[in-house]
Structure 1
Amino acid sequence: MSKNSPIADVVMHPVRLRIIQQLGTRQVTTADLRAAMPDVPQATLYRHVAALVEADILAVVEERRVRGAIERTFTLGGRMAHVDQAELREMSEQELRQSFLTFIAHLGETFDRASTSDADGDYRDFLGFGEVQLHVTTADLSEIQARLSELLAPYLSATGPEHRTVTFATALIPEPPRRA
């Protein structure tokens, strides 16, 4: 996979989505990734990290020698892990369905990990999900997205030990046009 590959081809894999989620807005080492994803074989993890680096989804920000090996530290790269509208339009119906199902599966896996590994039992204090139907124009939706980005911007970086990381997922699914 090269930097010219569509982002969806690169990130729409469960292991790669988990790697991207581990980074969020922070920096992680390969050792951090191995510790956070013990169910993924090391060779598989490294192969997916390499694909993400090659596609500029991850960037290497530091390399240091640890016991004779090179330990790399990663952050999200220049392309970021987001499928934009142009790429969504280029997908076939099958690719679009597969990408959405991968997203939903990853969200379910994130939920499962949170609900089964919360030692102090307070994850429900942070948990919420729901669905609401909005009645918008294209301009309205554009404004909502811009204001939501502005609202969330201060919370995209961890600033102290009292902060807890939560996953905030969105899905915009337009209803099909109504037939007369």
Structure 2
Amino acid sequence: METAELLAHPVRLRIVHALRGGREMTTADLVERLPDVSKATVYRHIDLLSNGGVLEVAAERRVRGAVERRYRLRQDRASISAAAAAGLTTEDHRRAFTIAMTALTAEFGAYLDRPGADPARDLVGYRQHAVWLSPGELVELISELRAAILPRLTQDPAPGRAQYLLSPILFPIGDAPAEP
């Protein structure tokens, strides 16, 4: 199964998000992380991601006669290449966006359902801004966003550090005004 196809499911996308940043987790850890998803479903999707090469076994140990595996993300397989994205049809993009929004909605719901969730304290944000940009300004904005985000993507888990889901979404909502 191709990476795009593997990532094209909200539960698999949430598993990938959970393992970002060099995290290693067991299936039990992931079941706990996704409380709204059944254990059998988490196991099935971990198996698909593992067989597809998106996840790899980081460690194994015997626990009460069974083998417990710790999984980690293979960064080189956990995203869709620019070339693959360029080959997507309009319907492929529609489906991918729907899956991303479904995963985002589920993650937000799981966050709100956690004991002690406090969106104000946690600085939760979901604002949308409509901005006018020329093609050059758009490229500049994307470069600035990447420059701000990329260094943070390599940060490891550490005491005092919580994992956040950052989901920049950018698409045109209207055409340029006609020349007067």
- Give the TM-score normalised by the residue count of structure 2: 0.81
Q: How far, CA to CA, are the matches of 1:100 and 1:16 in structure 2?
A: 14
* Contact 1:62–1:74 (CA under 8 A) maintained in structure 2: yes
* Ranges in structure 1 where 5+ consecutive residues have no aligned partner: none
Q: How far, CA to CA, are the matches of 1:130 and 1:40 in structure 2?
A: 27
- Give the TM-score normalised by the residue count of structure 1: 0.81
Q: How far, CA to CA, are the matches of 1:60 and 1:134 in structure 2?
A: 46
Map of 1:104 onto structure 2? 101
- C-alpha root-mean-square deviation of aligned residues, in Å? 2.5
Q: Name the count of aligned residue pairs.
A: 174
C-alpha deviation, 1:118, in angstroms: 4.4
Map of 1:52 onto structure 2? 49
* Contact 1:14–1:106 (CA under 8 A) maintained in structure 2: yes
C-alpha deviation, 1:122, in angstroms: 3.0
Q: How far, CA to CA, are the matches of 1:130 and 1:105 in structure 2?
A: 18
Distance 1:177 1:122, change over 3 A: closer
Q: Deviations over 1:20-44 (max 9, x none)?
A: 1221211111221122224433332
Distance 1:78 1:117, change over 3 A: closer
Is it true that 1:164 corresponds to 2:162 in the alignment? yes
Moved over 6 A (4+): none
Equivalent position amino acid for 2:160 in 1: E
Distance 1:39 1:113, change over 3 A: closer
* Contact 1:56–1:79 (CA under 8 A) maintained in structure 2: no
Q: Deviations over 1:58-90 (max 9, x none)?
A: 122111222211111111114343233322222
* Ranges in structure 2 where 5+ consecutive residues have no aligned partner: none
Higher relative contact order (CA 8 A, sep 6+): 2
* Contact 1:59–1:77 (CA under 8 A) maintained in structure 2: yes
